[in-house]
Amino acid sequence: MLFSWVKYWRHLRGAAIVSATAGKPHHGADGFRNNYPHAMPGGRDFFRWRWDAWRNKHPRRPPQGYKLPRAQPRVAFLQQNRSATSVTWIGHSSILLQLGGLNILTDPVLGPRASPLAFAGPRRFSAPGLLLDQLPHIDLVLLSHNHYDHLDESTVRRLNRQAGGPPHFLVPLGLRNWFVQRNMHKVTEMDWWESQSIDALKIHFVPAQHWSSRTLTDRNQSLWGGFVVDGPAFRFYFAGDSGYSKDFADIGERFPGIDLAALPIGAYEPRWFMRNQHVNPAEAVQALIDLGADSAFAIHWGCFELTDEPLDQPPRDLALALNEAEIDAERFFVMRIGETRIY
């Protein structure tokens, strides 16, 4: 009975979405969908993956002595800077972007686990490069989607209580109510290819090949994607989380001249299970080519143990892929956690 009501509610919500946005193929009767059709793994595939890992005694723990390379955070500079363009990798998909006089935070996850539970689920193996009290006042938060390794409730609640007032949260379509239910109201929803002008910046929400869910009953009920941020003489692209698809070429065509892209390189094994939702390093290199970006740096690796490859494997595979594609390593570089680059 409960399942029937949930299914009926999802049907009504999906019908409302289609009615309100007729003609958009990524809006469906049962929720949102990707631009380019592909098979997505289901529950049986998940259990097959975990069974195979258990049966083969797959080593999912980090290598002994694992420690992500770290940089001394430039806290004083970041807290005072309102003129220089800078990018700081906080860890996983959390980035501090300073552009056009604004402080922008992507996918803020600074808690100890990427999980709905405080005592279980993927735990952080590398402390954040910046702590919450070391951040400058955050003006904007760009949220790619609602998975727990990209949206941490405790982090966004603390950001909402920051001194000087809450940041402006830009979130995918269908996710604003999650924030409002938690008494966070400075929130704007965005659909793919929609734009918001904020001070000197223009921010565009762009497609990705992925999915969304935070519970067993809300799969694909909110959208997912990435962001292109246009500032004075600097264009930045944040991919969020994505499998490889023509979306990257579409974004490069609509937004030529990307100066810097933040591209995921981790959480890709086994390929039969992960390929349609997470790029591997070779596909990330192809995404760089498709985008036509001047340069890129690697995100979504090294912090949370989400899949089967060792936590320190993605940069090695990235180096091999760059060599194969005859692309200089500095064009697609790996940052130390907490490292800041000034442009």
Give the three-state DSSP class for 260. strand
Taking residues 88-98, what's their average pLDDT? 98
The fraction of the chain above a pLDDT of 90, given in percent, is 77
Same domain, 107 and 152: yes
Q: Is the pLDDT of residue 5 over 90?
A: no
- Tokens representing 199? 């001070």
Same domain, 1 and 139: no
Taking residues 327-331, what's their average pLDDT? 97
pLDDT band at 116 (very low <50, low <70, confident <90, very high): confident
- Give the model's pLDDT for residue 1: 38
Same domain, 129 and 215: yes
Asked, for residue 84, whether it belongs to a domain, the answer is yes
Q: Is the pLDDT of residue 12 over 50?
A: no
Q: Is the pLDDT of residue 6 over 60?
A: no
Nearest to 142 by CA among 106, 110, 109, 166: 106
- Tokens representing 122? 């993927």
Helices (H), 216-338: 247-254, 271-274, 281-291, 313-325
Taking residues 194-205, what's their average pLDDT? 98
- Give the model's pLDDT for residue 52: 67
Give the three-state DSSP class for 98. strand
Domain that holds residue 9: 1-33
Q: Is the pLDDT of residue 125 over 60?
A: yes
- Give the model's pLDDT for residue 37: 79
Same domain, 217 and 122: yes
Q: Look at 272 and 189; give whichever has higher pLDDT.
A: 189
- Main-chain phi, psi angles of 315, to 5 degrees: -65, -35
The fraction of the chain above a pLDDT of 70, given in percent, is 87
- Give the model's pLDDT for residue 14: 41
Same domain, 27 and 159: no
Asked, for residue 123, whether it belongs to a domain, the answer is yes
Asked, for residue 39, whether it belongs to a domain, the answer is no
Q: How many CA atoms lie within 13 A of 102 on its CB side?
A: 21
Number of domains composing the chain: 2
Taking residues 172-178, what's their average pLDDT? 98
- Give the model's pLDDT for residue 117: 86
Contacts of 292 (CB under 8 A, 6+ apart): 252, 256, 257, 258
Nearest to 239 by CA among 254, 255, 224: 224
